[in-house]
Chains A and B, each alone.
Chain A
Amino acid sequence: MTSEPFGDLIERCRAAEDDLVRRWRADVAASLRGRISEVELDKELRDLLDAVLSAVGSSQGGDTKSPAYGEVRALLVDLSRARALQGFSPSETAINVFTLKRAVREVVGAGAEFQPFSDVIDDLGLFTFETYARAREEVIAQQAEQLLELATPVVKLWPGVVALPLVGTLDSARAQVVMEKLLQTLVDTGSEYAIIDITGVPAVDTQVAQHLLKTIVAARLMGAECIISGIRPQIAQTIVALGIEFGDIATKATLADALMLALGRIGVDVAAEMSKRGL
């Protein structure tokens, strides 16, 4: 199949390329409201138009999945990813492609050969939108991962005592991260006591308790003891109502109590330590 269905559309577009880009740019710029410079936009659209015209003019014609469209697709991927990362909305991104139709119709004129060309642009528009959505999803996944890392700090309270203040809901994925991070910290710092503070955990259900228990058993296997602190009255009631058994695991109402317990078990005399350091 040759470029027959497009007739002399390509030649006419080539001849009016400058006008076409100007008309197209005007449409796109209106929707972007000056968030991308004219020069930058001009270059983007000119490259894209050039690639589209070459692809449409090639032997494969209207099949946008053919190798002839490789360059067009690459340009569209770059464009939609950039737009997605810059925070443009889906329609602001898709309009980049769709407004080309209007530009061609107004500048070159719409004959019988316009319909197949329009179909090609529709396909490319859909492709742009798909790439945009994928780029957005990647951003979201990345942020979720960062949040996971951010939300689990392990702090050293005393030589040999670390605390893990948990903030936010504890789901399986997060519990896994928390567990690994805590255990690794125990190894790295050689701490024998870990205090898990759940003041910031909005709700404790059987699943959360299960995760906590697993973490504590794993820490014990490594030779460290865990203390749970920050149990709010409502949480205590839930724990009892659900029949969760913490067994011989020490639980304290506040972080202060838990620290005191840990220091007591290590046998630290705080006042003596302070005078030793000249405080």
Chain B
Amino acid sequence: MERLPILKIGSMLLVSIQVDLRDDMVIALQEDLADRIVETGARGVVIDITALDIVDSFTGRMLATVAALSRILDAETVVVGMRPAVAITLVELGLSLDGIKTALNVERGMRLLSLGGAAT
């Protein structure tokens, strides 16, 4: 099964979603991410969804779950690079992703995390 790569940058983890998400990949990502946060002691997680052009309620819930999961492990989640069409879809689905930080791109997302004291 295809797994999404999780990159470690400083004290942050970067997940860049470049392919169409399937449900089994999403579940695998949740497990992998939890393992990696514990393993590396990361303080922040950046999820880059620039390449994601279709979302459904499952993907929306995945983002919320990942965020909740990282928070329990004392890492903050920032979702970056959401496309307008995706944002509109999520709003229409009624998923406002409360409690998740967002940023326009990876750079800003990482800056947001470091301002929050997650980095170094």
**A residues within 8 Å of B by Cβ?**
179-180, 183-184, 186-187, 190-192, 214, 217-224
Contact B88 A218 (CB under 8 A): yes
Among candidates B87, B92, B96, residue contacting A222 with C-beta atoms closer than 8 Å: B87
Contact A218 B104 (CB under 8 A): no
Q: How large is the interface on B (under 10, 10 to 19, 20 to 34, 35 or more residues)?
A: 20 to 34
Contact B88 A179 (CB under 8 A): yes
Q: Determine the main DSSP class of B at the interface with A.
A: mixed
8 A Cβ contacts from B94-114 to A: 96-97, 101-105, 108-109
Q: How far is the CA of A222 from the CA of B84 in the complex (A)?
A: 7
Contact A192 B97 (CB under 8 A): no
A187-B104 contact given A221-B82, A223-B80, A223-B109, CB 8 Å threshold: yes
Contact B88 A223 (CB under 8 A): no
Contact A223 B102 (CB under 8 A): yes
The A-B contact count (CB < 8 A) is 58
Query: Which residues of chain A are near B97, meaning CB under 8 Å?
Result: 221
Known pairs A183-B87, A219-B87 / 10 extra A-B pairs, C-beta < 8 Å: A186-B84, A187-B83, A218-B84, A218-B91, A221-B87, A222-B82, A222-B104, A223-B79, A223-B104, A223-B109
Question: Across the two chains, which residue of chain B brings its CB closest to A186?
Answer: B104
Query: Which residues of chain A are near B119, meaning CB under 8 Å?
Result: none
Contact B108 A183 (CB under 8 A): no
